[in-house]
Structure 1
């Protein structure tokens, strides 16, 4: 297990779950204090690799031992948003493209695309992605693609 300072420095002192800043000087017992979350990642072999990420104590506790949920923000107007963690896992394994949300207006889709690329730059920095917006059916489809 790595130490908290190394993980915090690597993750820019931001919680990987809520994307809010983590204060490195706050007590590790405080709900907003820093903690290390060990994420088991499935590999093709039977062994699982563990990736360590920085999280607030409360975010880490709330997640528990279940698959994390990274929420889409309320200020974005998206319909049927895809679960971000599942999309990242799929694109990391296979590459390609995934439709991640529908938006009623082009400006809504552009705002969602900008937020998603920014969020993924911290959530999954190893995943190189772009977005595409496709018009159709009276709305706009937001597509995430690997490069």
Structure 2
């Protein structure tokens, strides 16, 4: 397991679950204190990689009780957004491309795309993804694709 400060510095002291700052000086026993969340990813039958990310202690604890949810920013104008965690899990396993949200304007879709790529750089830093925006039916579809 990596040192808490190494993981915190790498993740810019931002919780991967709630996307808010983690106080590096808070006690690790405090609910809002820092903790390292780790999980294993099987790249093949013989190659298992352990991924470590920074989380608040209470965010990390709640993740053990219920599946994690990475919420879309309330500042974005997106319609029928797909759950980010489930979409990333599918892309990690299968690759490909998926519609992740619909937006009423090109500008809204571009803002959602920028936010999503930034958020995924912290949530799934090892997953190479890109976004694509297509228009149709008076709306703009935001696609995410595993590269």
Q: TM-score range by the shorter chain?
A: 0.7 to 0.9
CA distance in 1, matches of 2:83, 2:49: 22
Partner of 1:142: 142
Per the alignment, do residues 51 and 125 of structure 1 end up closer, same or farther by CA in structure 2, a change over 3 Å counting? closer
SS state of the match for residue 6, structure 1?
helix
TM-score after normalising by structure 2: 0.86
- Matches of 1:61 and 1:92, distance apart in 2: 24
CA RMSD, 1 decimal: 2.2
1:2 CA drift (Å): 2.9
Deviation at 1:40, TM superposition (A): 4.8
1:29 corresponds to 2:25: no
Aligned to 1:11: 11
SS across alignment from 2:61:
helix
User: How many corresponding residue pairs?
Assistant: 147
Shift in Å at residue 119 of structure 1?
0.7
TM-score by length of 1: 0.86
Structure 2 match to 1:107: 107
Partner of 2:95: 95
Q: State the secondary structure of the residue aligned to 1:64.
A: helix
Unaligned runs of 5+ in 1: none
Alpha-carbon distance, 1:131 to partner: 1.0
Q: Unaligned stretches of 5+ in structure 2?
A: none
Q: d(CA) in 2 for partners of 1:74 and 1:112?
A: 11
Question: CA–CA distance in 2 between the matches of 1:69 and 1:49?
Answer: 22
